[in-house]
Structure 1
């Protein structure tokens, strides 16, 4: 058995650079070439990460769908300069980007993969024993397999809480009780995700290890204020859990 990295508890911010840039309409209108668009998307995302960290977010997952690996690596490099020593930094899906980031000296903590990505056992062999590995589960068969892989994966992403527009292949919504039932079955830290708003955070915080959001921060006009509200709601849920 290896010594795994323990996921930090709290609010878990999953990035969406295209969404973040689109929410800043004036900046988006100034983009005239593909390279400039990507550069602006990276800059705006890192600015948003900085605001989220100031508010108390504990984990940042870099998710950037359908983007060339070079641009994704540029985002990882820029984000690691902001998150190092302040939050854990996770790469979504792209094991190649994680490995390239580490080779480049970036402080990246791990990878989160889905059901249709490379199998966790192969990913573990690639990333090594010291990297954090999260896996998305939602269906009963996913949970059953996760129970057989507790020496391979370090955490489970469970959702969606409700339907979400940020992930086109998201599983059917589970609701609060559905997520809670899976969390009770798994002897691993569980991250709830999928259509989560600030009012959902406190009830979830008493049932799961951390709560992940995308648009609640990525599309916010004031990322610091949005993140701060989420962090405060999580703390409220923790207090409820301690008092129970």
Structure 2
């Protein structure tokens, strides 16, 4: 059984070199996976393709050393070229996460094949309509947010008018109910948000700085997972 059939996005960590206060990325990924995070996404708008391939390889190696390669999903944000090059080098990378303005999901699916994981962030101002009307046969989950304004992705939640939209607990609950595929929610999420998010019915939460900028990433990651599991409805 491929990882696509066992996809677990309950605790989802997004990270790149610009998010770690200058610390190496790989040990922080190890801390998150050891703490129970089930999905890791490599995302960077500043790293070169070669740096991203190397980082993906490091992440894959770290996950393998924890013995969780068959249950922790490793994705790359936006960069189909990086995923394909990493695979060509023998790196175990499980798929890609894209936005609606990135490479189309049908192209990702064509190049990565039926066993790859493909996640999609829908545009903020179209999210409800998109979730109700989209053909989801090619994608495995929706990413939604932000819950709060976030500095790790400054354009997150921008409407067509440039207004920033954040998602209330009521809206997130509605998203979960409307979507025929799992929804993972994030954007500025901190530990205090987890209990209410866990009760919305979404499949999981995603975080960046709550772990990557923490003084003790492993401790923070463990608290997030424990809190999610204790409040999940």
TM-score scaled by length of structure 2:
0.87
Pair 1:11-2:7 in alignment = no
Give, in whole Å, the separation in 2 of the partners of 1:4 and 1:67: 27
Q: Which residue of 2 aligns with 1:76?
A: 56
Post-superposition offset of 1:7:
2.3
Pair 1:108-2:93 in alignment = yes
Larger mean Cα displacement after TM superposition, 101-110 or 212-221: 101-110
RMSD of aligned C-alpha atoms?
1.7
Higher relative helix content: 1
SS of corresponding position for 1:174: coil
Q: Report the structure number with the largest CA radius of gyration.
A: 1
Larger mean Cα displacement after TM superposition, 83-92 or 210-219: 83-92
8 Å CA contact 1:60, 1:90 repeated in 2: yes
Provide, for residues 146-181 of structure 1, a one-character-per-residue CA deviation record: whole Å limited to 9, x for no partner: 443211111000101111111021012112222221
Pair 1:219-2:216 in alignment = no
8 Å CA contact 1:21, 1:45 repeated in 2: no
Give, in whole Å, the separation in 1 of the partners of 2:7 and 2:182: 7
Tell me which of 171, 191, 194 is aligned to 2:187: 194
Q: Which residue of 2 aligns with 1:183?
A: 176
Pair 1:166-2:144 in alignment = no
Give, in whole Å, the separation in 1 of the partners of 2:119 and 2:6: 11
Number of matched pairs: 217
For structure 2, the residue ranges without an aligned partner over 5 or more in a row are 158-164
Give, in whole Å, the separation in 2 of the partners of 1:205 and 1:107: 30
In the superposition, relative to structure 1, how do residues 4 and 57 fare at CA in structure 2: closer, same or farther (>3 Å)?
A: closer
Pair 1:124-2:118 in alignment = no
Post-superposition offset of 1:226:
0.5
